[in-house]
Chains A and B, each alone.
Chain A
Amino acid sequence: MDYFLTEEQQTIRDLARRVAEERILPVRAELDEKEEFPWAMIHDIAAADLFRVFVPEEYDGLGGGCLELCLVVEELSRACSGVAVSYAASALGCMTLMEYGTEEQKKKYLPDIASGKRLGAFAITEPTAGSDAGNIKTTAEKVEGGYLLNGTKQFITNGGEAEIYTVIALTDKSKGARGASAILVEKDTPGFTFGKKEKKLGIRSSATRELVFKNCLVPAENLLGREGLGFIQAMRLFDRSRPGIGAQAVGLAQGALEAAVDYAEQRVQFDQLLITMPVIQHMLADMAINVEAARALVYAAARYVDSGAKSVTEVSAAAKVFASDTAMKVATDAVQICGGSGYMRDYPVEKMMRDAKILQIYEGTNQILRSAIAVNLRKRKGRTA
């Protein structure tokens, strides 16, 4: 398929593919097995300027948008979803800064994000606030000299490895979600420590940790935008970042499809190659149809975000839901086609199946996102948006 990418977009995609194939693919099984943060890969991604893709030019970036970010994430995820999410989480960690930050804040942090010298992370989830994201308890009390943070964030991607955190905390407890604010917190700020590193089903090379704030004093100038906007900022951020999760899903599904075709081309049963059997052919065809449909929807959503459209909630949710459901199904079918071998760690598809599950859960569970789509559907009486 030709998605009419510009020459620059093709260059970005091709380079991301090279990094993925030459640097990530050979070590992905080892990264998964060791559950070790892929710093060497992060350095390779940085050296290739891929962290510059999503940062504006005036801060040492290349000024790309959602589609460019998606192209990189897709290619990285085709090799390893754990590495891809570590990359994407850095973008997530600085998107609120890019949109609401002051010139000074951007100048201070974005060049280091662009060069890949420092990673970013975004923190909203808490033990009491998963899908019910408004139910956060972490507080940021205004005191002399800044904000005093107290509370615990949970399941934070890049936790412990990132150096720049965008944290959503309550500056006004009495107002609930309307009293939430987005605050930048740097690693090594006194009172800011990390809890346990989670042991996960998939994306095991990525770091997922608790952030623990105990009387952590952050300068007042680290507030992003205005007090009380935090929840709205977070929802707006996810509207724009979800195509990225869709791209991660498309890349994973593409990798699983390729692995399944590869296997079917070699495996002989009943004196014939699997690939010549209609039952396998139809499974593979369905996988290919869904991967391409998911890609088309993800790119369309990314382009819609880049167009500056006001309300992107529905299309970005749709892209994330459809692509992640596709990834789960395609990876599961890839294991099925590879049979007993596919279930073994010697083959890449069992890892892909484990990695796929989180895509239906994080950045809005597919159930929550379907609910959001349904709300909009009622508003527009089912007509085309």
Chain B
Amino acid sequence: MNIVVCLKQVPGTTEVKIDPATNTLIRQGIENIINPFDTYAIEEGVRLKEKHDGKVTVITMGPPQAEAALREAVSLGVDEVILLSDRAFAGADTWATAYTLAAAIKKLEACDLIICGRQTIDGDTGQVGPEMAEMLAMPFIAYVGAIEEIKGGSLRVRRLIEEGHEVVVSSLPAVITVSKEINVPRLPSLRGIMKSKSAKITTWGLADLGVGEDKVGLAGSSTQVIKVFFPQRETTAEMLEGDVPKQVDGLVARLKKAGLC
């Protein structure tokens, strides 16, 4: 089985601060990690390889320091890693990111399954997976909690939906995004870490992908972040007086007024 896993290197905190001048994340002094949801994608890829044979290729788009995330992926058992890095890729929204990743995947030998984390912990959009599937004209399944079977070019998964589980069958190749229910990621092994130190990192830039400059990075982005801010939170407390029926009436009236019931 030929499996591709997409990952993103993110700041290792959920309390990211925004630079008000540039509207981008302040990354100084924060350790970078593999996006936690992507670690489940890596683990699932490696498990499928161990079960069905084949190869796992990890792709990331990011600055040169994203190489560290790729080396960590090697220590966890993936076979090949590719870094998409070019000044032209900077400032990409989810669309341009998906476009760049899809272009790289088209360049690879045909794959059977593409696995992504359900969303990142910095951007939190969950859009890159489905957008990429659209661009690659592949079926897409989100929030996969278990891969039940892969057989004869088809895939059966259990995905999480609000009301419960949904079992979906799809043809391959396909794109899935995974939730943390799917597995418990392994820790690296010593042999893996040693291998990762000398692992070859393939780096592809704009020219290698053969796509137009206007399709990637800020230029290829159809959205742009104008402002990032935390909504003002106001809390006030009001004590309801009187006996219980009167307090209940008062409460219901206030809830109605606030449009909450």
Question: Interface on A for B, CB 8 Å cutoff?
Answer: 8, 11-12, 15, 18-19, 22-23, 44, 47-50, 52-53, 62
- Which of A23, A44, A48 is in CB contact (< 8 Å) with B190? A48
* Residues of chain A within 8 A of B186, CB atoms compared: 47
Per the 8 Å Cβ criterion, residues 186-204 of B in contact with A are: 186-194
Q: Complex formed: what's the CA distance from A141 to B170 in Å? A: 66
CA distance A307 to B193 in the complex (A): 26
Name B10-42 residues within 8 Å CB distance of A: none
Tell me the dominant secondary structure on chain A's binding face. helix
| A47 adjacent to B190 (CB under 8 Å) | no
How far apart are the CA atoms of A18 and B189 in the complex, in Å?
Answer: 11
Majority DSSP secondary structure for residues of B touching A: helix
Number of interface residues of B (CB under 8 A): 9
Evaluate contact between B187 and A22: CB separation under 8 angstroms.
Answer: yes
- Interchain CA distance A19-B193 in the complex, whole Å: 14
Query: Whole-angstrom distance from the CB of B195 to the nearest CB of chain A?
Result: 11
What would 16 A/B residue contacts be, using CB atoms closer than 8 Å? A12-B190, A15-B187, A15-B188, A15-B193, A18-B187, A19-B187, A22-B187, A23-B187, A44-B187, A48-B188, A48-B189, A48-B190, A49-B191, A49-B192, A50-B190, A52-B191
Q: Which residues of B contact A8 (CB under 8 A)?
A: 194
Tell me which residues from 159 to 218 in chain B have a Cβ below 8 Å from any Cβ of chain A. 186-194
Question: In the complex, A52 Cα to B190 Cα: how many Å?
Answer: 9
Docked complex Cα distance between A44 and B187 (Å): 8
A46: nearest residue on chain B (CB-CB)?
A: B189
Residue in A22, A23, A49 whose CB lies within 8 Å of B189: A49
Minimum CB–CB distance from B29 to chain A (whole Å) comes to: 21
Using Cβ atoms and an 8 Å threshold, which residues of chain B touch A18?
Answer: 187
The 6 closest A-B pairs by CB, nearest first: A49-B190, A49-B189, A49-B191, A48-B189, A48-B187, A11-B193
How long is the Cα–Cα vector from A23 to B189 in the complex, in angstroms?
14
Looking at the assembled complex, report how far the CB atom of B187 sits from the nearest CB atom of chain A, in whole angstroms: 5
- Taking the closest CB of chain A, its distance from the CB of B73, in whole angstroms, is 16
The listed residue with most B CB atoms (<10 A of its CB), out of A8, A12, A15, A19, is: A15
Residues of B contacting A48 in the complex (Cβ-Cβ under 8 angstroms): 187-190
Taking the closest CB of chain B, its distance from the CB of A9, in whole angstroms, is: 11
Chain A proximity of B93: nearest CB distance (Å)? 34
Most chain A CB atoms below 10 A, which of B189, B190, B193:
B190
Beta-carbon nearest neighbor of B192 in chain A? A49
A312–B187 CA distance with the chains assembled, in angstroms: 36
